[in-house]
Amino acid sequence: MKATINDVAKQAGVSIKTVSRVINNEVSVRQLTREKVQKAVEELNYQPNLAARNLAGAKSFSVAYIYDNPNAYYIIDMQEGILSACKQQGFELLIHPCDAKNKNITEEVVNMVKHARIAGLILTPPLSEMPEFVKSLVALDVKVVRIMSGDVAPDDLSPCVMVNDRDAAQTITQHLIDLGHKDIGFIAGDAKHMSTVERYKGYRRALKESNIDFNKELVIEGEYSFDSGVSGAKQLMSAENNKHRPTAIFSCNDEIAAGALFAARLMNISIPEQLSIVGFENSPFSRQTWPKLTTADQPNNQIAEDAANLLISQVRKQKNQTTISQYVPKLIIRDSTAIVSNR
């Protein structure tokens, strides 16, 4: 039989109102009492009726994740991290995919927020990087937390969780340089994502600090997709491009890198003996390829959970901060990179 709030109150030896205060994480409860209630909730596996809570008063216990991103692994990690925080803190999660290029995107999301009685929103790129869109949401008096690429928040519109792609990209590029590579190709992700811009900056900075001349012929515009990696690598490694053929390729994410690896196989190019390839994010793609990809570990699940906890604290008015700790993805060296061979 499913436990009720009365069961929790009885087992903890407190009133129903006290149980409600603990569930809602109100600050007016003594720590000892809070621990007793939380222990009873855990032992009885009590699940609050979130729908009833939303209907009972003006306070909403639902947050929404709004996204437009072609990377399925990224979205799954984000959803799992946000959902973990929501479960721990008694909030419901609404998932709302959308098209950032849609001219009616602002109206669509504003209507969703109003009709679904959302207490807060988590935005990821490219939506988090659209200031006019964010302003429209903040104007609704709804809390917003953005996950963004960069080392500092670009404005004070809402709290942010920052991911320092630039420093991570510089570290990855430096790894290739340390292996003796000087002709390093770069296959970009979607131009509308700041992560592409920041990773490109890190790539350029590493070359500059190692006194390696930048060659624009080695930079390929692309998208965050496997097919983009295939076409980009073919362009870089083609016979027509023999004069500027790289010994290593920086791919803006693991999906692109997997595509580049596939293209190299089709062209009978041995990895890493004839060509080193690196990715970014440490997604399952990086571990499913052969050889496994050198990459940067971006803990998307933890980033998402931190963003959700920050959002819920804002909803409950427990914190007032613009950013939390910055994440710098860490280099993971695997089998797709090696010392440059003599041509």
The answer on 288 and 211 residing in a single domain is yes
The answer on 37 and 94 residing in a single domain is no
- Look up the pTM and report it: 0.80
Contact in structure between 291 and 336 (CB atoms under 8 Å) = yes
Residue 315 falls inside a structural domain: yes
The answer on 293 and 173 residing in a single domain is yes
Q: Give the CATH number of the domain where residue 119 resides.
A: 3.40.50.2300
Mean pLDDT of 314-342: 83
Q: pLDDT tens, 138-182?
A: 888 889 999 999 998 888 889 999 999 999 999 999 999 999 999
- pLDDT value of residue 241: 62
Q: Give the contacts of 49 (CB within 8 A, at least 6 positions apart).
A: none
CA–CA dist 271, 19 (Å, integer): 60
Closest to 96 measured CA to CA, from 71, 69, 73: 69
pLDDT score of 277 more than 90:
yes
Mean pLDDT of 89-93: 89
Contact in structure between 8 and 23 (CB atoms under 8 Å) = no
pLDDT score of 28 more than 70:
no
Residue 342 falls inside a structural domain: no
The answer on 214 and 255 residing in a single domain is yes
The answer on 304 and 294 residing in a single domain is no
Residue 121 falls inside a structural domain: yes
Number of domains making up the chain: 3
Contact in structure between 257 and 277 (CB atoms under 8 Å) = yes
The answer on 107 and 93 residing in a single domain is yes
Residue 338 falls inside a structural domain: no
Query: Which residue segment(s) compose the domain that 43 sits in?
Result: 5-48
CA–centroid distance for 274 within its chain:
32
- pLDDT value of residue 89: 86
The answer on 74 and 150 residing in a single domain is yes
Q: pLDDT tens, 315-326?
A: 887 655 555 678
Q: Give the contacts of 259 (CB within 8 A, at least 6 positions apart).
A: 225, 226, 227, 228, 229, 230, 231, 232, 233, 251
The answer on 226 and 262 residing in a single domain is yes
Residue 88 falls inside a structural domain: yes
The answer on 291 and 144 residing in a single domain is no
Q: Give the CATH number of the domain where residue 26 resides.
A: 1.10.260.40
Residue 190 falls inside a structural domain: yes
In sign, the C-alpha dihedral spanning 309, 312, 317, 322 is: positive
